[in-house]
Structure 1
Amino acid sequence: MTQPPNDSTTGTPRTTAARGFASDNQASVHPDILAALATVNDGHQPAYGDDAVTARLREIVRRHFGPRAEVFPMFNGTGANVVSLQAMSERWSSVVCPESAHINTDECGASEKIAGLKLVTVPTPDGKLTPELIEAHATGFGNIQRRQPAVVSITQSTELGTVYTPEETAAVAAAARERGMSVHMDGARIANAAASLGVPLRALTTDAGVDVLSFGGTKNGLLLGEAIVVLNPDAVRGVAYLRKSSMQLASKMRYVSAQLAALLDGDLWLRNATHANAMARRLEAAARTVPGVEITQAVESNAVFAMIPKGAAERLRKRFPFYTWDDRTGEVRWVCSFDTTETDVDAFTTALAEEMAG
C-alpha cells in the first residue's frame, strides 16, 4: 500500500483526515469510546483486572454470551488468538484452519512459535471450513508420529468477507466434537457478521458450539483492545497465567475494559458494524457498474474483493489507500469502517471508474 506522502520540510508523514479503504484497523476511534476512557480516568483503581470497570465488563459479556462466559481483556488480536490456542491445546497438538486464516497468514507464525502447535491449513474458495473439510484434514489420531488434532479454528467474518451462518458454525462444531476437538473462533469482525445476519452474538458462538472466542474491538471503533471470551470453561486451562506469560496482561486494565464495556453495553457494536457493512454494499453496487471490474467474493460484511488491472490498481492507490490481497492474481481488497461515509464511497468509486477508463 502506498504510504502518506512525506512532508517536504520535515520528512515525516503528513497526518490528514482522509479516509481510505485499506483496513478498518486504520479507522478513527469512536467518540463514545474516547468518552468512556475519559470517564474512567479519575482517581485510582486496583490493577491487573481487579478494578470495578473490568468487573462490570464481566457482567456485560455474560449478558451477551451466557452465564458461563469468562472474559480476558487483551491488547491485540494476535495475542488473543495465541493465548486462546495455547489454552486449548498441547505442545504436540495441531489446529485445523482455512489457508486464508489470519493465524496462518498475518500473525508472523506466532501460534506455531509461541504455542508450539502446528497449523493444518485447508484451501477454501470462500474462507470457510465445512464438516467435509475437517474430516479430510483432521487425521492421525493416536499415531505417535503425528501431531494430534485438537482444535478447529474459524474466522467470523472470514478474511474473505464471507460469514458463517449459525447453522454452518454448528455443523463445524459438531464435526469437531465427533473427533474430540474443540472450536476456536477468531472474531476480529464478529460484530460485522452478526449485523449481516441479524442475529445476536450468542447465536454465532455459544449457541452454535464455539468454545473460545477472540472478540474484536479495534476494527469496530476501539482505540485498542480485544478480548478472549471463554464460552466453555471445560475446553481451556490456565488462560490467566498464559495471558501474563504472553505479555498480554494490562496493569491499568480498566482502560481496556472501559472501551469493551462501552462497545457492548448498548448497541454501539451493532451500529458501527451495520454502518460499515452498508458502506461496503454501497461500494460493491457502484463498482459493479464499472466496466472491467469483477467482484470475486460475496459481499456479506464490510469488505469488497475485486479483480482490476494492475495498472488501474496502481493509479487508484495513489488516490486512495487499499491493499492488493493476492499478488499472484492481482485481486484487491476494499474495506469499509464505522466512520466511512457515503461521500467517501462515492469519491472512491468515481476515481475507480476514471482509472479503469484510463
Structure 2
Amino acid sequence: MTSTPVHARGFASDNYSGIHPEVLAAITAANVDHEPAYGADSVTERLRGVFAGHFGKRVEVFPVFNGTGANVTALQSMLPRWGAVIAASTAHVNSDEGGAPEKVGGIKLLTIPTPDGKLTPELIDTEAWGWGDEHRAQPLVVAITQSSELGTLYSPAEIRAIADHVHERGMLLYMDGARISNAAAALDLPLHAFTTDVGVDVVSVGGTKNGALAAEAIVVLTDSASVGLHYLRKMNMQLASKMRFVSAQLIALYEADLFLRNARHANAMAARLRRGLEEAIAAGSIRGVGFTQQTQANGIFATLPAGAADRVRESFRFYDWDASVGEVRWVCSFDTTESDIDTLIEAIARATNA
C-alpha cells in the first residue's frame, strides 16, 4: 500500500525544519585542526563573549545539546534537594519532557493551570506557600517560558512584576527560552531587555527550533543563582566533548542577526496564516474554525470542525493540542514559505467544506 504523500513543510513543530545554511557553514568552519575538548576551545570562548554582549558581561554560559537537558540541568543547579519549581501546567518541563525533571532531576513540580500559558504573581501565590513545613517540598524557583507553549508573550513589565514578587519571597526566576528568538523578534527588543534587565536569574537560550542542529545554552545571569553547573552538566550527559561544534552553531545564530532574521520570518509566516484564515472565515470560504489563543510569535492555536483536522493532515503534518475540543496547533519555521501558508489555507478550506 502506498502511503499518502505529506507536504514537505510540516506545521507540527519548528523542530521539523532543517539546519540553516549559515549554521551548517559554521559547523564546517569549526571543523579544522585540533581544539581542546569539553569547552576549553577557542570557539566556546568566543561564544561567551557573544552572549555577554546580549545579556551582560558577568554572565556564565554553558552550551548543552537540547532543551530538556538545559531545563533539567539549570533547575537542578538552582535548587537544593528539597526544593520545588512552580510552573504553568502547560510548561514544557511539565507536559513535554517525559518526566525528566522529576525522574532525572529529582525536582518536584508545582503546576498551575493558566488560560494563556503565562504565570502572574497572583497565580504563583496559589503554590508559593509552606516554607518551613517539612511535609511540603519547598517552592524555591518559578519557571516561565518565553514565548510560552501557547504562543503567547510576556512583556518586560510582566516579567519584572514576577521577578520582584518571586525575589521578595526568597525564590529565583528561571526562563525557558527555547523560543526566545521568536520573543525577541515579536517584542522588537534586545535579549537583555526581557531577561537580565527585569530580574531573570537563569535563562536557557534556544537554537534548535531556530535553525541549529542540536544547540542550546544555559546562561546564568545573576550571582549565586546557580551552583554546580560544571558538575551537573556532566552528570546529566549534556557535556559535549567536541563542544566547539555546539558553540559554533550558537555563534552563527547570535553573533550577528541570524537569530532575529529567522525568528522574524517564522513569526511573519504565522501572522500570514492567522490573517489568511481570518479573511477566509469572514468570506465564508472556511467554516467552523475558531482561535483559542492570540498569535504573538510563531504558533497558531485553533479549533476545527469534527473530522477536518484529519482531512488536512492528508497533506500537512501538525499536532492535535486538545482533541476533546478539536484544538490543533500549527507552528511556522524559519524556512516556511508564503506558498506553504497559502496551500495550507486552501487545504483547510477544502476540509471544512467537505
What TM bracket, shorter-length normalisation? over 0.9
* Residue of structure 2 equivalent to 1:333: 329
Kindly provide the CA deviation profile for residues 65-102 of structure 1, in whole angstroms up to 9, marking residues without a partner as x. 00111110000000000000000001211100000000
Amino acid at match of 2:126: A
Amino acid at match of 2:311: R
The correspondence for 1:322, drawn from 304, 318, 327, is 318
The correspondence for 1:228, drawn from 199, 218, 222, is 218
Q: What does 1:52-201 correspond to in 2, within 5 Å?
A: 52-201=42-191
CA distance in structure 2 between the aligned counterparts of 1:200 and 1:330, rounded to whole angstroms:
37
Secondary structure at the aligned position of 2:217 is classed as strand
* Residue of structure 1 equivalent to 2:283: none
Amino acid at match of 2:123: L
Whether contact under 8 Å (2:7, 2:316) holds in the other structure is no
Task: Sort the Cα spacing of 1:240 and 1:310 in 2 relative to 1 into closer, same or farther, 3 A.
Answer: farther
* Residue of structure 2 equivalent to 1:204: 194
The answer to whether 1:295 aligns with 2:285 is no
Amino acid at match of 2:302: A
Structure 1 residue 6: deviation in Å? 5.6
Task: Sort the Cα spacing of 1:171 and 1:291 in 2 relative to 1 into closer, same or farther, 3 A.
Answer: same
Structure 1 residue 137: deviation in Å? 1.4
Secondary structure at the aligned position of 1:18 is classed as coil
Secondary structure at the aligned position of 2:11 is classed as coil
CA distance in structure 2 between the aligned counterparts of 1:162 and 1:206, rounded to whole angstroms:
20
Kindly provide the CA deviation profile for residues 100-133 of structure 1, in whole angstroms up to 9, marking residues without a partner as x. 0000000011111122121000000000000111
CA distance in structure 1 between the aligned counterparts of 2:52 and 2:302, rounded to whole angstroms:
39
Secondary structure at the aligned position of 1:115 is classed as coil
CA distance in structure 2 between the aligned counterparts of 1:136 and 1:164, rounded to whole angstroms:
20
The answer to whether 1:344 aligns with 2:344 is no
- In structure 1, stretches of 5+ residues that fail to align are 8-13
The CA RMSD measured in Å over matched residues stands at 1.3
Runs of 4+ in 1 over 4 A off after TM superposition: none
Task: Give the TM-score taking structure 2 as reference length.
Answer: 0.96
CA distance in structure 1 between the aligned counterparts of 2:349 and 2:148, rounded to whole angstroms:
28
Whether contact under 8 Å (2:319, 2:328) holds in the other structure is yes
Q: What does 1:239-254 correspond to in 2, within 5 Å?
A: 239-254=229-244
The correspondence for 2:269, drawn from 279, 286, 290, is 279
Task: Sort the Cα spacing of 1:259 and 1:46 in 2 relative to 1 into closer, same or farther, 3 A.
Answer: same
Kindly provide the CA deviation profile for residues 133-185 of structure 1, in whole angstroms up to 9, marking residues without a partner as x. 11121111111111111100000000000000000011111111111000000
Structure 1 residue 214: deviation in Å? 1.0
Secondary structure at the aligned position of 1:214 is classed as strand
- In structure 2, stretches of 5+ residues that fail to align are 281-285
Structure 1 residue 299: deviation in Å? 0.3
Secondary structure at the aligned position of 2:324 is classed as coil
Secondary structure at the aligned position of 1:94 is classed as strand
Whether contact under 8 Å (2:11, 2:330) holds in the other structure is yes
Amino acid at match of 2:163: A
Structure 1 residue 291: deviation in Å? 2.4
The answer to whether 1:309 aligns with 2:305 is yes
Whether contact under 8 Å (1:214, 1:228) holds in the other structure is yes
Task: Give the TM-score taking structure 1 as reference length.
Answer: 0.95
* Residue of structure 2 equivalent to 1:38: 28
